[in-house]
Amino acid sequence: MSAHRYKRNTAWLWGLVLVALIYNTLMYFLNTLTGSHLLDGIFGVLLGLYICSKPAANAVDLIFFRRGELRQITSGWSGIGWLSLNLLVLFAGWAVIFTGTTHMAFY
């Protein structure tokens, strides 16, 4: 088996933050996307879980598969920025989940 090369995909993470912002903005101003609070809530929870899965996968990869590089990543500004971006995406996904669950509560 060949070794898997790890690449930081910051554009993908920023895209996920943008998707989360668009969803939360639309839900704030339109109050519904499909006409049903239940469907809006289900979509929001699933979207939020997907958004949160990317930084969670990065954390698992960093902790278990790249153990030796943890100190190296956290020592430089680029590594701190990478970890901060992952936390931002995690927070954005949590915000989408929260918005989705509050819309399901209206059902």
Distance separating alpha carbons of residues 97 and 61, to the nearest angstrom: 23
Q: What is the pLDDT of residue 5?
A: 52
pTM of the model: 0.83
Q: Give residues with Cβ within 8 angstroms of 54, minimum separation 6.
A: 12, 13, 16, 89
What number of other Cβ atoms are within 10 A of residue 27's Cβ?
20
Q: Give residues with Cβ within 8 angstroms of 67, minimum separation 6.
A: none
User: What digits encode the pLDDT tens for the residues 5-53?
Assistant: 556 788 999 999 999 999 999 999 998 888 899 999 999 999 999 999 9
Q: What is the pLDDT of residue 44?
A: 95
Alpha helices in the chain (DSSP H): 10-30, 37-60, 70-75, 77-105
Angle (nearest 5°) at CA 25 between 92 and 85: 25
Q: What is the pLDDT of residue 86?
A: 93
Residues 94 and 20 sit within 8 Å (Cβ to Cβ)? no
Q: CB burial class (10 A; 0-12, 13-18, 19+) of residue 16?
A: buried
72 vs 27, more confident = 27
